[in-house]
Each structure stands twice: as structure tokens, then as C-alpha cells.
Amino acid sequence: MIFTSDEDLAIANEYSNHGYIIRPNADKEAFNWIQKSAANVAAVALNIEPPTDNEKFLNEIHNLVEPSKLNDFRLKVIQGLNALPEFRLMYFRLAKPYLEAIVGNELAMQQRINLSIQMPNDTSSLLPVHADTWSGDSPFEVVVWLPLVNCFGTKAMYLLPPTESAKFSDEFSKRGGSSSESIFDSIKTEVKWLEVKSGQVLVFDQSLPHGNRLNEETETRWSMNCRFKGVFTPYGDKKPGEFFEPITLRPASRRGMSYVLPKIS
């Protein structure tokens, strides 16, 4: 007996086979709100007028920000966004049905959403190959990765698919080498580059090796990422209340968590 819908089953199978899914944003209004908010907060950080074309403005931000000032600028933008009360709710709405098909409907969400800005030919924004579980993250987590602009070629991220990842893990002591660059060299012919368009969302398994390389395109990449997991699954080094916050607890779970057996005199 299959207890899930055909659509949920298709999502689950694709995620299991490939380690990720790419789908249209589940809530277009939420995406437009996030993209516009990012552009407006960026404009405030630069002390300029809000743009009339948000995506063009984000794609061309390298014309307004020097690479040496990029990290300070990025921190101002993500701090401004995380200060908006609706931000995390809007982000969740983008991927809600996909998370429910892959993770479940009682979820814990990362408390602060992250932002990556990768300018063309900027070596300061590289993310070496890694799996989040290598540094203590729970293997029960997934990442919701949201591009605010079209991400393609070297402007995108890469991921090592599950079958290749399992083989690499078995051979890690022989293939890992002494640096992240040597690790990438050993898998570069096997990784999958993920083209994710503006208006789409990527949900991927963060226990699979992934990262980015030098952006050799002519546009700047803007992408956000946030981790989700089942409330009652193991947490690894990132604990509820410190890194994660329950967001969709159901009444039976709340009741069960607070239940106390009757006292016997």
C-alpha cells in the first residue's frame, strides 16, 4: 500500500535518487517579496534609491560594490532581511509542499537565513567542497537553496550525487587528500552542476559533498540557504533553541510533550 500522493511520491523518489529537487517556487508572492526586500535592503546599505528592476540590480551589484567591501555589504543585507518579521515565513512558504513530501509536516527551521553573494571572478566568495555533516550537522537536515537571480554555469553550485557520494565516502581515506582542493580534484568529473533559475527553488541533501567555484560569468550570484529538519529527528551539534526553532508542531505533539501521568498517592 502506498500512503502518499502521486505528486509527493514523485518528489520523494527524485530526491532519493538524485539528492535534490528543483521546482518552481511554491508561492510566487513570497518569492517576489523576498527578491524585492533584498534589493531594497541592498539599496539602503548603499544609500541609493530603490531599484526599478530588482533582478537586474542584483545581477549587476558588482558595479556598485568593491570586492574588498563585499562581506560587510553582505552582512548588512542579511541582517536587514533577518530583521523583517515576515522573512522566515515567506521563505518557508516557497518550499512548503516540497518539504512536507521530503521531510514531513512537523518541522524545525534554522533561526537565521544565510545569504551568499558571488561576484564575477571574485576569489573571496568561494565555498570549498564540503558536506555539512562533516562539521557536525545532522544527516536528517535538508537545505532550501533560493536563487534571487538565474544561476547557471559557474554562477551556480555543484553537488556530488548519492551513488557517487557513497563510493567517494567508502574511498575517502584514499581520495580525500590533505585539502578541499584535492578532494574537489578527485570528484570534479562526477559532480552535477545545478542550474536553478530565478523563480525556482532547490532542496538538497546537505550530507552530499557540494560547493561552488570561481564565478566566471558576467553576473553576480545572489542565493539564500536555510536548513529544515523533522522536529523529532536527531539534531547533531546544532540544537533546538540555539540554531533551530520548531515551526509546525501539531496539537497531538504539543499535547504529548506536555503530558504528565497522574500522581499516585
Sequence spans of domains, the chain: 6-231
Chain-centre distance for alpha carbon 39? 19
Instruction: Tell me what pLDDT residue 174 has.
Output: 78
CA angle 30, 33, 35 (to 5 degrees): 110
Amino acid at 110: Q
CA atoms within 13 A on the CB side of 228: 28
Residue 233's pLDDT is 96
Spatial separation of the C-alpha atoms in residues 186 and 206, rounded to whole Å: 19
For each of the chain's 265 residues, which pLDDT tens digit applies?
A: 778 899 999 999 999 999 999 999 999 999 999 999 999 999 999 999 999 999 999 999 999 999 999 999 999 999 999 999 999 999 999 999 999 999 999 999 999 999 999 999 999 888 899 999 999 999 999 999 999 999 999 999 999 999 999 999 998 887 766 788 889 999 999 999 999 999 999 999 999 999 999 999 999 999 999 999 999 999 988 888 889 999 999 999 999 999 999 998 7
HSE-CB of 245 using CA atoms within 13 angstroms:
9
Query: Rounded to an integer, what distance in angstroms lies between the CA atom of residue 77 and that of residue 239?
Result: 26
Per DSSP, the three-state class of 127 is coil
Q: CA separation (Å) from 29 to 25, 78, 85, 223?
A: 9, 20, 16, 18
How many C-alpha atoms does 192 have within 13 Å on its Cβ side?
17
Please tell me the distance from the alpha carbon of residue 251 to that of residue 48, in angstroms, as a whole number: 47
Nearest to 205 by CA among 157, 160, 164: 160
**Prediction pTM value:** 0.94
138: CB partners within 8 A, 6+ apart: 229, 233, 234, 235, 236, 238
CA distance 136 to 159: 19
Span 6-231 CATH architecture: Sandwich (2.60)
Cell 513570497 appears where? 30
Q: Which residue type occupies 255? A: R
**E strand segments, 119-252:** 142-147, 157-159, 192-194, 200-205, 210-211, 221-230, 244-246
Q: 3-state class of 166 per DSSP?
A: helix
